[in-house]
Structure 1
Amino acid sequence: MIYNEEKIKSYLKNILSIPSPSGYTSKIMDYIIDELQILNAPYIITNKGAVIVTLKGKNNDYQRTLSAHVDTLGAMVKNINTSGSLAIDPIGGFMMNSIEGENCQIETINGETFTGTIQTTKPSVHINGSDARELKRVPENMEVILDEKISSKLEVEELGISVGDFICFDARTIFTQKGFIKSRHLDDKASVAILLYVIKYTLESKIELPYTTNIYISNYEEVGHGASSAIPLKTKEFISVDMGCPGPLQNSSEYSVCICAKDSSGPYDLGLRRKLTEVCKNENIDYKIDVYPHYGSDASAALRAGWDIKTALIGAGIFASHGYERTHMDSILATLDLIIKYNMLE
């Protein structure tokens, strides 16, 4: 099958450009909904703000659901310091050193946007010497320096910034000529772009699906409860389209679709994993099977919530996950191909 790589990249570029830390996802959901309306795709919005697209199939009683999450890592203003800097509290699990020196924007409750830079409280070796190097990178030693002429807490408050405002990290997205994509938040916006293209491809190609297939775009995965509710009731097979984690002692790759056998929530359904690997073998899709000891997914959340579903986890290989990440178009296309072929499987 021939896929439109430029359209996939366009979706991904647009999605990565819209800040969406967990709890602040309305703007990116508006983008998703706009694209679904262009495609004339049927969808619902859940009470929690997730979006579910339903693609009708011949069998409506045995349904498949594929999920990806649009929420990302980020932070929240914990306190306004007397100097006018902002203390931060993390949203999601990441290393503090991975955001040191990162540009960011603050989204206020009143809808205003301010920019700044995340620094340690001792950011200069010329001033702090060895203390700057040895300072432990923990939230209490990190702060946002605003791009404003301010020097006090009162001046910051007068700008309209307050405790509880969201801090969004600059994605710094780059598409290289050799097919690499470097950006924050490829976890899991790469998968959202893939599933958006799956919807487009399925509808425009007039594919007759053997089973009704739902596309669930969740918005609270990074904090553990993304797909814990509102899964279509007739779902029997649930696939979390998230990411693989290449690295030392791992089997995953940036150039393949990665299929997770087990993560911190336990093994995924063996029969469903076998079905996915057979599709890869029969269709010559490059794949890797791996185990991730420090990982959870929308499928994990659904199982913890008590849903009686068979689950699997697949995704593109994302290097340096929860940091400044990287993947390759080969991995994205392999993941896309597996999803399309799985959806068509009788």
Structure 2
Amino acid sequence: MENLKNNIDHYMKLKGIKMYTHLLVDIAHELGIKGQEAYEFANKEKSNFSKMLKGERPLKYDFIIPLEKIFGISLARLLEENAYKLPVKKENVPFNKGFRYYAYLDDPKLYKEEFDLLLTKDGESILTQTDEFEKTFLDYVVEYHSVNGVRYLHDEYGIKLKWFHNQFEFSKGKGITYIHFENYIEFARLVASMNDVELFNDIYDPYNMFFTNHHYGAENCIFCQSEYLEIILDNDGLFNSIFEIKPYELKLGNISRRKKQVESITYRPIINPIINNCLKYALKHLDKYKHRAIDILKFGIEHNRKIASKITFTDCYICNELGELKNFKDKNYYDIVVFVERDIDVNDDEIKSLTNQLLKFNKL
């Protein structure tokens, strides 16, 4: 850590900061601590900060962004040997911007004008890179609640969750990048907090899962996870979207495009394929989601009747956990109906009454 101390001393001198206590007060201000509390913070952290500079303990993660902003340089420059010898002007210290900084500022203009220019030496996108904390740009988007970063990734890179591996897909131009991201649930919470239903459903897209796989696949599929289902059930806009009956355009991959000689396939309107998993979860947690279960069952009663009126009832059957309805005599037929799993037993008269009214199809 000797380099860190030398470099911090150098940039303190450039910035006219005479004491570590004064630097800690500036750090406190960057952390949103004001007034007398900032000085109390400085006195409290002075001993720890001294030990960090001596290498007796690691630099606090919370100090990274404040130090970068105060000195106008990246942490990498602070840690780099002889960095303090680089020619700099006191009034305009150069700053090596990194993806952490962009997520922190969350400035749409900077995303548009500069972010794409950040490439590694081998030409790979910055989206795949990690910093000294093994974190990616996506990690910092979640950490700093960077809603403009979410929109930028959606509009410019077409970010989508690939549900079968819980990975994110980014496509820009002709290239496609896949990133494994452990915080996909926290990212979902962030996107949901933006109250943009269309944006959320485009990134977390159960229709893609339905038309490409026809079932949830692995047990850890995000659409089966309780935390994800609660995000849907807790958000009025997202919850109401599961009742929408709409067509779906499936964009084909390279192999399918060559085989079918089309760019995409548009499927006729169906309800959101996640509806039955939402119902299942709500029925298992009636203490919190009884009102949601009632809404889904009431919708299902009417929806199932409409579907039954258009088919020969005995020819059709539910073929999977999504509630997909197939026809023995027509291999091209498909729809989604609302159903209740046989193993779910509820002790609620109102729910039982609605369940009894729900038209039940044969299930294989």
Same fold flag (TM > 0.5): no
Using structure 2 for the length normalisation, give the TM-score.
0.23
Using structure 1 for the length normalisation, give the TM-score.
0.24
Structure with greater strand share of residues: 1
Q: Which structure carries more relative contact order (alpha carbon 8 Å, separation 6+)? A: 1
Structure with greater helix share of residues: 2
Q: Which structure has the larger Rg over C-alpha atoms?
A: 2
